[in-house]
Amino acid sequence: MLEVKNLKASIVGKEILSGLNLSVAAGEVHAIMGPNGSGKSTLAQVIAGQTDYEVTDGSVEFLGKDLLELETEERAREGIFLGFQYPVEIPGVNNAYLLKAAVNAKRKHHGLSEIDAFEFLKLAREKMAMLGMDQSFLNRGVNEGFSGGEKKRNEILQMAMLEPLLAILDETDSGLDIDALKAVANGVNSLRDPERAIVLVTHYQRLLDYIEPDYVHVLSGGRIVRSGDKSLALELEERGYEWVREAANA
């Protein structure tokens, strides 16, 4: 589904990704781990289309299409979802209004009719119940005055409504207490599907106790330096990132 080859990207002239390779197939859950500054978030942002980063080399293919040629919104409509590490507050933009506009933008792209208000509300309520979100969130401004946990739940709600083919969740576990973490993990697990791939970007192993990955990759210095199964995450937890860095430099 996703083929990243020799990806190099920089911001204001500083190279962050230095020849990254990653292959993700439908139905798989990948965890990308790594120390701060290793390029985890950059990878997520580049795939979503953040133009602050300049791609200097390499390619990214999504379902055989050259992703780097597509605008951010086109990538989203094709089925890519980025769960933000820091979800953006947009005062005055109603949460339900955004959700509906997003769902309809995607439906329109795929030649489907717009969802009606009744159907939309029914769907949104269902997903919110699953995430333990109060329905009043629908009528609030997007992330406006939300707590950290509420913001992350809201990201998962958007993902659940948009039903992406590829979901990249950037540090979705950061700043969550245990109840919120469980709710978020529950939401993500409910979306595991043979048709869908999920990439979890995380610093800590904790999230992987609740969402079991098929593959774990370690990012260091802008490249994937180790890949393995979930046992790699446990090893990292035990030994820290230093040994990976040393191994990579060796």
Partner 1 sequence: MKATGLNQDLLRAAVEEFPADEFSAARSSAVAKLAGVGFPTVGDEDWKYTNLGLAAEISNGWLKTIIANHGAIAEQSNSEQVAMICQEIDAHWIIIQNGIIASDSLAELDGQAGSGISLSKLEFADKDDADDDAMSLFNVALLRDGLRITARANATTDKPIGILLADSPSSAVTQTRIVIDVGDNAHLRVVEYNLSVDPGRQFTNSVVQANLASGATVDHVRIQNRADDHVGVNKVTVNLDRDASYNHNSFDLGGALTRNDVITKIAGKGAAVNLNGLYLATGTQHIDNHTSILHLVGPSTSEEEYRGILAGSSQCVFNGKVIVSPGADGTDSRQSNHNLLLSDRAEIDTKPELEIYADDVKCAHGATVGQLDETALFYLRTRGLGMDEARKMITRAFAAGTLSTLAVTECQDHLAKVLDQRLDNLIGDGQ
Footprint of partner 1 (CB under 8 A): 48-50, 71-73, 75-77, 81-82, 84, 87-88, 90-93, 97-98, 101-102, 105-106, 109, 141, 158, 162
SS3 147: coil
Q: Minimum distance from CB of 169 to partner 1 (Å)?
A: 12
- Residue number with CB closer to partner 1 (22 or 76): 76
Q: Minimum distance from CB of 142 to partner 1 (Å)?
A: 8
- Residue number with CB closer to partner 1 (98 or 248): 98
- Residue number with CB closer to partner 1 (103 or 236): 103
Q: Minimum distance from CB of 104 to partner 1 (Å)?
A: 9
SS3 149: helix
Residues in the chain: 250
Contact 151, 137 (CB under 8 A): no
- Residue number with CB closer to partner 1 (101 or 247): 101
Q: Minimum distance from CB of 107 to partner 1 (Å)?
A: 9
Residue type at position 70 = L
- Residue number with CB closer to partner 1 (91 or 194): 91
- Residue number with CB closer to partner 1 (62 or 215): 62
Contacts of residue 161, Cβ cutoff 8 Å, sequence gap at least 6: 99, 102, 103, 123, 124, 127
Burial class (CB in 10 A: 0-12, 13-18, 19+), 172: buried
Note every long-range contact of 16-19, with CB atoms under 8 Å and residues 24 or more positions apart, other chains counting. 16/42, 16/53, 16/222, 17/42, 17/43, 17/46, 17/222, 17/223, 18/221, 18/222, 18/223, 19/57, 19/58, 19/222, 19/223
Q: Minimum distance from CB of 229 to partner 1 (Å)?
A: 30
Which helix or strand (DSSP H or E) is residue 17 part of?
strand 14-24
Q: Where are the alpha helices (DSSP H) in the chain?
A: 40-48, 72-78, 95-109, 117-131, 148-162, 178-190, 230-239, 242-249
d(CA 151, CA 148): 5
Q: Minimum distance from CB of 111 to partner 1 (Å)?
A: 15
Q: Minimum distance from CB of 108 to partner 1 (Å)?
A: 9
- Residue number with CB closer to partner 1 (72 or 139): 72
